Amino acid sequence: MENISEVFTGNRLQVYFKRTHGSIHKLLHLIEEKSPTLEKCIDSLLTELYGADSLCWENTFFTQLLFNIQALKLLQDDYGRFRSQIFKCEGICDSIYSRLEVKEEQDGL
Protein backbone atom coordinates (compact mmCIF):
# COMPACT_ATOMS: atom_id res chain seq x y z
CA MET A 1 0.00 0.00 0.00
CA GLU A 2 1.23 3.48 -0.87
CA ASN A 3 2.14 6.08 1.73
CA ILE A 4 -0.72 8.62 1.97
CA SER A 5 1.66 11.52 1.35
CA GLU A 6 2.63 9.87 -1.95
CA VAL A 7 -1.01 9.48 -2.98
CA PHE A 8 -2.08 13.04 -2.17
CA THR A 9 0.52 15.13 -3.93
CA GLY A 10 0.52 17.71 -6.65
CA ASN A 11 -2.78 18.01 -8.43
CA ARG A 12 -4.83 16.20 -5.80
CA LEU A 13 -3.71 18.62 -3.10
CA GLN A 14 -4.40 21.54 -5.43
CA VAL A 15 -7.94 20.32 -5.97
CA TYR A 16 -8.32 19.83 -2.22
CA PHE A 17 -7.25 23.40 -1.43
CA LYS A 18 -9.49 24.81 -4.17
CA ARG A 19 -12.38 23.00 -2.48
CA THR A 20 -11.20 24.18 0.94
CA HIS A 21 -11.27 27.76 -0.34
CA GLY A 22 -14.95 27.22 -1.19
CA SER A 23 -15.63 25.73 2.24
CA ILE A 24 -14.07 28.76 3.89
CA HIS A 25 -16.18 31.11 1.79
CA LYS A 26 -19.30 29.18 2.76
CA LEU A 27 -18.66 30.25 6.37
CA LEU A 28 -19.25 33.85 5.32
CA HIS A 29 -22.71 32.94 4.07
CA LEU A 30 -23.45 31.04 7.27
CA ILE A 31 -22.63 34.02 9.47
CA GLU A 32 -24.68 36.34 7.26
CA GLU A 33 -27.65 33.97 7.65
CA LYS A 34 -26.97 33.68 11.41
CA SER A 35 -26.95 29.93 10.91
CA PRO A 36 -26.87 27.82 14.07
CA THR A 37 -24.51 25.40 12.28
CA LEU A 38 -21.70 27.94 11.85
CA GLU A 39 -19.55 26.73 14.73
CA LYS A 40 -20.10 23.09 13.74
CA CYS A 41 -18.93 23.89 10.19
CA ILE A 42 -15.81 25.66 11.52
CA ASP A 43 -15.05 22.65 13.74
CA SER A 44 -15.58 20.27 10.84
CA LEU A 45 -13.21 22.26 8.62
CA LEU A 46 -10.58 22.37 11.37
CA THR A 47 -10.86 18.62 11.95
CA GLU A 48 -10.39 17.97 8.25
CA LEU A 49 -7.37 20.27 8.06
CA TYR A 50 -5.79 18.72 11.15
CA GLY A 51 -6.06 15.41 9.33
CA ALA A 52 -4.25 16.87 6.32
CA ASP A 53 -1.44 18.24 8.47
CA SER A 54 0.94 15.37 7.71
CA LEU A 55 0.51 16.01 3.98
CA CYS A 56 1.35 19.71 4.16
CA TRP A 57 3.88 19.98 6.97
CA GLU A 58 6.43 21.62 4.66
CA ASN A 59 4.03 24.44 3.79
CA THR A 60 4.30 27.26 6.35
CA PHE A 61 1.03 28.73 5.13
CA PHE A 62 -0.79 25.60 6.29
CA THR A 63 -0.15 26.38 9.97
CA GLN A 64 -1.28 29.96 9.38
CA LEU A 65 -4.49 28.67 7.84
CA LEU A 66 -5.22 26.46 10.85
CA PHE A 67 -4.62 29.29 13.31
CA ASN A 68 -6.69 31.77 11.34
CA ILE A 69 -9.64 29.41 10.95
CA GLN A 70 -9.47 28.70 14.68
CA ALA A 71 -9.69 32.47 15.29
CA LEU A 72 -13.03 32.53 13.44
CA LYS A 73 -14.59 30.84 16.45
CA LEU A 74 -13.70 33.89 18.55
CA LEU A 75 -15.06 36.38 16.02
CA GLN A 76 -18.59 35.05 15.53
CA ASP A 77 -20.10 38.05 17.31
CA ASP A 78 -18.21 40.62 15.21
CA TYR A 79 -19.32 40.36 11.58
CA GLY A 80 -16.79 42.86 10.23
CA ARG A 81 -13.80 41.14 11.78
CA PHE A 82 -15.19 37.69 10.91
CA ARG A 83 -15.59 38.76 7.27
CA SER A 84 -12.08 40.19 7.19
CA GLN A 85 -10.71 36.97 8.70
CA ILE A 86 -12.54 34.90 6.07
CA PHE A 87 -10.80 36.87 3.30
CA LYS A 88 -7.47 36.40 5.07
CA CYS A 89 -8.08 32.62 5.24
CA GLU A 90 -9.00 32.55 1.55
CA GLY A 91 -5.78 34.41 0.73
CA ILE A 92 -3.74 31.90 2.73
CA CYS A 93 -5.52 29.05 0.97
CA ASP A 94 -4.65 30.66 -2.38
CA SER A 95 -1.01 30.92 -1.28
CA ILE A 96 -0.96 27.22 -0.44
CA TYR A 97 -2.49 26.44 -3.83
CA SER A 98 0.10 28.60 -5.61
CA ARG A 99 2.96 27.02 -3.71
CA LEU A 100 1.69 23.54 -4.63
CA GLU A 101 1.40 24.62 -8.26
CA VAL A 102 5.02 25.85 -8.31
CA LYS A 103 6.22 22.68 -6.55
CA GLU A 104 4.42 20.52 -9.12
CA GLU A 105 6.04 22.46 -11.96
CA GLN A 106 9.49 22.08 -10.36
CA ASP A 107 8.96 18.37 -9.77
CA GLY A 108 7.94 17.96 -13.40
CA LEU A 109 11.21 19.38 -14.66
How does pLDDT run across 33-87, given as a tens digit for each residue?
Answer: 999 999 999 999 999 888 776 666 566 788 899 999 999 999 999 999 999 999 9
Does the structure show a pLDDT above 50 at 94? yes
**Residues 2-30: tens digit of each pLDDT:** 444 444 555 777 888 889 999 999 999 99
Helix-, strand-, coil-residue percentages of the chain, each rounded to 5: 85, 0, 15
In this predicted structure, what is the pLDDT of residue 6? Answer: 47
In this predicted structure, what is the pLDDT of residue 88? Answer: 97
Look up the pTM and report it: 0.80
Alpha helices in 9-78 (DSSP H): 11-32, 38-52, 60-72
**Dist. CA 98–CA 29, nearest whole Å:** 25
